[in-house]
């Protein structure tokens, strides 16, 4: 009877200890994972400027890191946090508007019922839909409040990443079980993914929100800035897009008896906002890595429950990172040797 080699037993035991302690650390860090991802994101965005300040202008590493962190706080973090807080403050208004939209929708359905004699309204549970929407928005807002705790962790990690760039690279090569070629490849992919998710998608969404806001102001839509927020957030979600804001506005305006404004904003949303979406993505994302819409959609589904509002950005980044790791694994360990391929033939 063959016995297991003691060295193999020790190796399995150590791997189990690594998995156990790693899972415990990950479980406790999960509420603040957005801080870790945020540090990685800002590091990739600021690394080039850090090298310029330190190597070209001979700045002290600590001074350069603090300067860039302050710049990122005022230029990126404050507007992003303000946008998230605006969304949180609009939760009550969103619930009220959702009730109005549902009532307006049922009113339009009733007109169809008069023609077709088919009862549809009785199948629509307005209260259940409103309750689901309220819970979803509150969960999204609750995740937003965790961001304030994660911000401190993010800048703490970011400081040491910026001031210890060489040590960081050496640590990655030492502790990550991949060869240098795979590490370089995944590093390039992460950089392109971060630029697309953290810069490209929010810029496209904000531009679409502004274009929609212009239409809301032109047609005299009520609460134009509220719907601007909804359209901007909706633009980050593939397949749903700006219609998450345009369609409710159309139904509400139609229910108020303002047919001209209702059809005007609907046509404006389809023609102008829809057309500019393609134009904006062409000019913005052609210089960045264009993420597949399915990756963005799955990322939003996964990211929002994990991170709250900021999950709209970090969710797709997490899915893209997972797919990059799977691709690297396939390249390193999924290759078929010549002997095996001959045996299969």
* Rounded CA separation 245/234 (Å): 7
Mean pLDDT of 36-40: 84
Nearest to 228 by CA among 269, 288, 175: 269
pTM comes to: 0.68
Give the mean model confidence (pLDDT) for residues 167-189: 73
DSSP state of 308: G
- pLDDT value of position 90: 59
Residue 101 · residue 112 · CB < 8 Å: no
Of 172-176, 189-193, 225-229, 324-328, where does the model show the most confidence? 225-229
Name every residue whose Cβ is closer than 8 Å to that of residue 8 and which is 6 or more positions away in sequence: none
Q: Which residues of 155-165 are buried (b: 16+ CB within 10 A; e: fewer)?
A: bebbbebbbeb
pLDDT grade, residue 53 (50/70/90)?
Answer: very high
Q: Which two tokens stand for residue 82?
A: 């303000």
pLDDT tens digits, residue range 4-22? 777 778 888 888 998 899 8
CA distance 50 to 174: 24
pLDDT at res. 124: 55
At 63, is the pLDDT very low, low, confident or very high (cuts 50, 70, 90)? very high
Residue 335 DSSP class: P
CB count within 10 Å of CB 147 equals: 21
Q: Is 49 exposed, middle or buried (0-12, 13-18, 19+ CB in 10 A)?
A: middle
User: Is the pLDDT at 144 greater than 70, yes or no?
Assistant: no
pLDDT 10s digits, 84-118: 666 666 555 555 666 666 666 666 666 665 666 65
Reply yes or no on whether the pLDDT at 250 is more than 70.
Answer: yes
**3-state secondary structure labels for all residues of 3-48:** CCCHHHHHHHHHHHHHHHHHHHHHHHHHHHHHHHHHHHHHHHHHHH
Residue with tokens 């749903």: 240
């Amino acid at each position: 009877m063959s016995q297991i080699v003691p060295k193999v037993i020790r190796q399995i035991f150590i791997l189990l200890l690594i998995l156990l302690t790693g899972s415990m650390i990950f479980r406790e860090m999960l509420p603040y994972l957005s801080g870790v991802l945020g540090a990685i994101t800002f590091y990739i965005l600021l690394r080039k400027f850090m090298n310029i300040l330190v190597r070209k202008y001979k700045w002290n590493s600590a001074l350069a890191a603090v300067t860039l962190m302050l710049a990122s706080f005022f230029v990126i973090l404050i507007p992003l946090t303000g946008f998230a807080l605006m969304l949180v403050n609009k939760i009550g208004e969103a619930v009220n508007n959702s009730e109005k939209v549902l009532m307006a929708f049922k009113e339009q359905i009733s007109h169809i019922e008069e023609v077709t004699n088919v009862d549809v309204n009785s199948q629509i549970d307005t209260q259940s839909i409103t309750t689901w929407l309220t819970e979803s928005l509150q969960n999204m807002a609750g995740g937003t409040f965790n961001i304030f705790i994660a911000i401190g962790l993010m800048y703490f990690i970011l400081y040491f990443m910026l001031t210890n760039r060489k040590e960081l690279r050496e640590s990655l090569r030492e502790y990550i079980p991949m060869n240098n070629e795979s590490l370089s490849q995944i590093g390039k992919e992460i950089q392109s993914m971060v630029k697309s998710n953290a810069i490209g998608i929010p810029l496209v969404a904000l531009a679409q929100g502004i274009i929609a806001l212009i239409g809301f102001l032109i047609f005299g839509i009520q609460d134009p800035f509220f719907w601007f927020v909804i359209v901007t957030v909706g633009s980050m979600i593939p397949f749903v897009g700006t219609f998450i804001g345009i369609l409710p506005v159309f139904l509400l305006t139609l229910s108020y008896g303002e047919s001209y404004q209702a059809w005007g904003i609907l046509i404006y949303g389809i023609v102008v906002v829809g057309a500019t979406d393609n134009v904006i993505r062409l000019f913005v994302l052609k210089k960045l890595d264009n993420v597949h819409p399915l990756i963005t959609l799955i990322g939003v589904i996964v990211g929002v429950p994990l991170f709250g509002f900021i999950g709209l950005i970090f969710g797709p980044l997490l899915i893209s990172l997972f797919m990059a790791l799977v691709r690297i694994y396939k390249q390193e360990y999924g290759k078929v040797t010549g002997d095996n391929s001959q045996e299969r033939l």
